[in-house]
């Protein structure tokens, strides 16, 4: 065998995954669902997705239940993300027919009343508009022409896929925005007639996140990643930096291809947009679903201190979570306040890890702004005593 000399190797693994190309800014700020779980008409009718807003992160302590692992029955610390998810409101439904070229929307039926935050989504400039959206459609309900009933029957007769149109209650989240996010959410389970009846029964009604997901469930997160603008090849693709004395810069790719073919191939690392891409992360386990206003939303069986999920001083760049929230394991794509789409998993989970029952022993609520020492304001007051500002 030839000894390895200092001249280096003649080949190396490529830098950066080509499966995520083209690395450009996503068209949709909201994470769009491209695939839904397979329908099973033996199950009751249920929604398959939801939307929430990323509040921030904290960590939890729990006992690991993983026979065979060295950490089995031992305490572990895990990072978790808090996603605030106020109830969504159903404002319509869409029926799809199957064609040789995929699904085609047949017709849509809307609710009689739409809230202002939902109507804002249909306008580019709300305050200068006449705010006439859906006024003619709402008149159909008072009319005896029965257009709405006819379109509902068409969906029952011809469609194979039914999706509800729902919007977030963005005013209840802390993102200082008045325009709601609207999405189609597929209904699975039951017959088409049952799906349509379910959708009509829920028009103008709130649907809480707890009615769709449950604790210990594995879900998928669809979101737009944090944007970093125009970046060079070293940060964007992770290519090796050139030697220090390189002429005209060293954060470059030395050779961008052979003489022939006389063009630059798509697989060569180049500078350009990094971040603000749509990404789907699968199998994020739900550790807790609760309400942030509940005085014991941060309490556990072992830590009986009465505290909410909010850290001291609130979540940085977000504020206080006062609505329903979902706590998922690990991080998730996007910056604070970004809209996150939660979707039911596309697969049936059978592994021991996926079916593990989670029981948190401790949820950290110390300040996330600096080195937080105290879990609650009462604990801080007990340690510090009466301060000048308290007088």
Classify residue 171 by burial, with Cβ atoms within 10 Å: 0-12, 13-18, 19+. middle
What residues contact residue 243 under an 8 Å CB cut-off, 6+ apart?
250
> Which regions of the chain does DSSP assign to beta strands (E)?
46-47, 49-63, 75-84, 88-99, 102-110, 161-167, 182-188, 206-207, 218-224, 230-231, 272-273, 278-291, 324-329, 339-344, 360-363
Q: What is the mean pLDDT of residues 289-317?
A: 95
Mind listing the pLDDT tens digit for each residue in 151-198?
999 999 999 999 999 999 999 998 999 999 999 999 999 999 999 999
The pLDDT value given to residue 141: 86
Token code pair at residue 317 = 């760049």
Question: What is the sign, positive or negative, of the torsion defined by CA atoms of 150, 143, 184, 293?
Answer: negative
Q: How far apart are CA 80 and CA 57, in angstroms?
A: 6
Does the pTM surpass 0.85? The reply is: yes
Name which residue leads in pLDDT, 279 or 8.
279
Question: What is the per-residue pLDDT for 391?
Answer: 86
**Residue 173, SS3 per DSSP:** coil
pLDDT in tens, 374-383: 999 999 999 9
Q: What are phi and psi of 91, to 5 degrees?
A: -125, 5
Coarse DSSP helix, strand, coil percentages of the chain, rounded to the nearest 5 percent: 15, 30, 55
- What CA–CA distance (Å, rounded) separates 114 from 133? 9
Q: Which residue has the tokens 């969504």?
A: 88
pLDDT tens digit string along 72-90? Answer: 999 999 999 999 999 999 9
* pLDDT for residue 96 is more than 60: yes
Task: Kindly tell me if the per-residue pLDDT of 2 is higher than 70.
Answer: no
Which pLDDT value is given to residue 184? 98
pLDDT in tens, 101-118: 999 999 999 999 999 999
Report the helix count and the strand count for the chain, using DSSP H and E: 6, 15
- Give me the residues paired with residue 310 across strands: none
Tokens representing 365? 């609520």
What whole-number percentage of the chain has pLDDT above 70? 97
Is 200 in a helix, a strand, or coil? helix
Q: How many CB atoms lie within 10 A of CB 301?
A: 8
Q: Encoding tokens for residue 15?
A: 């830098």
């Amino acid at each position: 065998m030839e000894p390895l000399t200092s001249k280096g190797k003649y080949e190396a693994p490529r830098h950066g995954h080509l499966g995520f190309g083209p690395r450009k800014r996503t068209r949709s700020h909201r994470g769009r669902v491209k695939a839904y779980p397979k329908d099973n008409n033996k199950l009751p009718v249920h929604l398959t997705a939801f939307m929430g807003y990323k509040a921030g992160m904290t960590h939890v302590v729990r006992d690991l239940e993983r026979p065979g692992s060295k950490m089995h029955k031992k305490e572990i610390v895990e990072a978790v993300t808090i996603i605030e998810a106020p109830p969504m409101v159903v404002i319509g439904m869409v029926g799809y027919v199957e064609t040789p070229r995929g699904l085609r929307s047949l017709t849509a039926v809307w609710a009689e009343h739409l809230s202002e935050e939902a109507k804002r989504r249909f306008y580019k400039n709300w305050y200068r508009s006449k705010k006439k959206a859906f006024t003619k459609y709402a008149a159909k309900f008072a009319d005896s022409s029965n257009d709405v009933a006819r379109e509902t029957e068409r969906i029952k007769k011809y469609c194979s896929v039914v999706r509800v149109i729902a919007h977030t209650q963005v005013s209840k989240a802390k993102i200082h925005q008045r325009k709601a996010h609207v999405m189609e959410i597929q209904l699975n389970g039951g017959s088409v007639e049952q799906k349509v009846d379910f959708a009509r029964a829920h028009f103008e009604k709130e649907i809480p996140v707890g009615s769709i997901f449950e604790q210990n469930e594995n879900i998928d997160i669809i979101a737009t990643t944090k944007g970093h603008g125009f970046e060079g090849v070293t940060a964007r693709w992770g290519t090796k930096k050139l030697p220090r004395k390189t002429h005209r810069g060293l954060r470059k790719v030395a050779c961008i291809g052979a003489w022939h073919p006389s063009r630059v191939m798509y697989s060569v690392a180049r500078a350009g947009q990094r971040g603000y891409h749509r990404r789907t992360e699968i199998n994020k386990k739900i550790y807790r679903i609760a309400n942030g206003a509940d005085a014991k939303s941060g309490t556990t069986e072992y830590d009986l201190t009465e505290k909410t999920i909010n850290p001291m001083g609130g979540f940085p760049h977000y504020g206080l979570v006062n609505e329903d929230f979902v706590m998922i394991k690990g991080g998730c794509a996007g910056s604070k306040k970004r809209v996150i789409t939660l979707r039911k998993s596309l697969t049936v989970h059978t592994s021991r890890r996926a079916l593990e029952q989670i029981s948190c022993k401790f949820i950290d609520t110390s300040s996330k702004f600096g080195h937080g020492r105290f879990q609650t304001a009462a604990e801080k007051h007990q340690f510090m005593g009466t301060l000048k500002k308290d007088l």
